């Protein structure tokens, strides 16, 4: 009888040890991701995507995440064509927006709040413009800075090319959906946020618009209706020129694509690098 009890005890102990070891073994939930995740689209979201990719790869060395930016519309287009796994877009491309029909079959995942700012060359003396004044400038009706309280100098309008998510949001939020001018001696279009910064910073009397993360000392960000373009003013709902940034996928994401999106949406990234880059965590907007 004693021998039976001893054998039973050993058997139970062995079973518990095996179960415990099984609990410590890698599972699908905690195993490192593997594979390749291609991201294309928004240049406004490109700095965020590149930073997140660097951090994610440290945790998941077997994943590669090539990211490129050619404008928001190329994001959902690339996903639909199977060229990219994630389409970065400054609007929810699963719904209709002015100028663009929805992309059927795509699923939107909020990843950031993007503040946008009106910017001018440092030689421009104006520091505030109203929505009505911006409508006049970007439509070509106002052509000289003296008409809005500045120096006697021609206004050079720099616009993003059609297909830009920054352009879509700026037109809706800053210009009350009024149309842009399309040509003129003092009008130019650029393809990316980086190109916008370069054009405005190197062109005297120039005006344009960009997401806040790209604003540096070589340009001046203007007040809008007397309100500074700051993170706090967006969160407090005082400054209206902002939008959610999205990662678009074909259906619900799986594997490394899902793991990467989950990381970008995680509190660790949202409250860490994302905030430092002047994006706003999605949880901050109530």
Chain centre distance of CA 189: 21
Question: What average pLDDT does the chain have?
Answer: 90
Q: Binning pLDDT at 50, 70 and 90, where does residue 31 land?
A: low
By residue count, the chain amounts to: 286
118-170 tens-digit pLDDT:
999 999 999 999 999 999 999 999 999 999 999 999 999 999 999 999 999 99
Whether the CB-CB separation of 35 and 242 falls below 8 Å is answered with no
Res 276 pLDDT > 60:
yes
Q: Residue 276: CB partners within 8 Å, gap ≥ 6?
A: none
Res 76 pLDDT > 80:
yes
User: The whole model's pTM is what?
Assistant: 0.86
Res 107 pLDDT > 90:
yes
Looking at the chain, the whole-number percentage of residues with pLDDT higher than 70 is 89
**What per-residue confidence (pLDDT) applies to 32?**
80
Tokens of 192: 């990316």
Q: Binning pLDDT at 50, 70 and 90, where does residue 27 land?
A: very low
Res 20 pLDDT > 50:
no
């Amino acid at each position: 009888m004693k021998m039976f009890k001893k054998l039973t005890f050993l058997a139970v102990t062995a079973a518990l040890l095996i179960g415990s070891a099984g609990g410590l073994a890698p599972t699908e939930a905690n195993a490192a991701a593997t594979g390749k995740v291609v991201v294309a689209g928004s240049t406004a979201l490109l700095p965020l995507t590149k930073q997140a990719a660097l951090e994610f790869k440290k945790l998941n060395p077997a994943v590669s995440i090539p990211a490129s930016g050619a404008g928001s519309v190329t994001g959902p287009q690339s996903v639909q064509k199977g060229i990219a796994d994630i389409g970065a877009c400054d609007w929810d491309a699963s719904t209709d927006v002015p100028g663009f029909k929805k992309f059927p079959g795509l699923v939107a995942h909020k990843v950031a709040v993007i503040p946008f700012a009106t910017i001018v060359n440092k030689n421009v003396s104006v520091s505030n413009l109203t929505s009505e004044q911006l409508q006049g400038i970007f439509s070509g009706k106002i052509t000289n800075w003296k008409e809005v309280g500045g120096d006697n100098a021609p206004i050079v309008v720099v616009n993003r090319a059609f297909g830009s998510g920054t352009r879509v949001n700026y037109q809706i939020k800053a210009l009350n959906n009024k149309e842009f001018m399309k040509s003129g001696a003092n009008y130019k279009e650029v393809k990316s946020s980086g190109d916008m910064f370069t054009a405005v910073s190197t062109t005297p009397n120039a005006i344009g618009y960009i997401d806040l993360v790209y604003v540096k000392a070589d340009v001046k960000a203007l007040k809008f209706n007397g309100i500074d373009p700051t993170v706090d003013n967006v969160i407090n709902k005082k400054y209206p020129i902002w939008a959610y940034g999205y990662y678009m996928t074909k259906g619900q994401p799986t594997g490394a694509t899902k793991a990467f999106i989950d990381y970008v949406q995680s509190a660790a990234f949202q409250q860490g690098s994302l905030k430092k880059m002047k994006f706003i965590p999605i949880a901050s907007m109530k």
